Amino acid sequence: MSDLQSITDALIAGDDNALTQKVQDALDAGTNASTILSEALIAGMDIVGGRMETGEMFIPEVLMSAMAMGEAVAILKPLLAEGEATSAGKVVIGTVKGDLHDIGKNLVVMMLESSGFDVTDLGVDVNIDTFLTTIREKNPDIIGLSALLTTTMPMMRETIAQINASGLGDGVKIMVGGAPVDQAFAREIGADIYASDAGSASKLAKEMMHA
């Protein structure tokens, strides 16, 4: 069995000890950190999602996979980071109210930080007032909103509307992402940037800062 396949299997099994060991073994054998992330871990979470949909996996099992994924990503993080010294800009980011998914958002945070952004991560289930207060406090260049559920996409729209109504949106770029979000929806709700994955999120954020 290939290194990557055995990593995917340990992720699906939610076996954090086996997973972290296999990730370390693959790194020691010379496998690239971003290959492990995209081809074994993110690919594995897609399989978990499919099994969740068909009822082959239940929430506690999905949660174990998610927690194991977090531990594996922590091992890869320093290797994926470019570690730029100066701040590329300030970002306030969170998963919108009603939504508890944070694996993808955490990857976006990791990529932004490794590109030199100063990131304030508000976590999950972030209500609109928390966004508004933090924007006032931090004066960010970019606000990031993540949503993984079709049922929380309207909260993304509402959050942007309230940011704009408060006047705090002036001069700030809003970036959105998450599996059910696409470019058309982003445009419709008034977001400035849509990013389909963590890599393009940091690339587009950098481009936006130099625009």
Q: Could you list the residues that contact ligand B1M (CB under 6 A)?
A: 42, 45-46, 48-49, 52-53, 59, 62-63, 66, 93, 98-105, 107-108, 144-146, 148-151, 175-180, 195, 197-198, 201
* Closer residue to ligand B1M (CB): 154 or 180: 180
Element (H, E) at 124: none
Least distance (Å) from ligand B1M to the CB of residue 173?
11
Least distance (Å) from ligand B1M to the CB of residue 156?
10
Q: Which two tokens stand for residue 153?
A: 């996409």
For ligand B1M, the nearest residue by Cβ is 104
- Separation of alpha carbons 192 and 65, rounded Å: 33
* Closer residue to ligand B1M (CB): 28 or 140: 140
Element (H, E) at 148: none
Greatest Cα pair distance, the chain, in angstroms, is 56
Least distance (Å) from ligand B1M to the CB of residue 12?
11
Chain CA centroid to CA 59, Å: 20
* Closer residue to ligand B1M (CB): 30 or 154: 154
- Separation of alpha carbons 191 and 201, rounded Å: 13
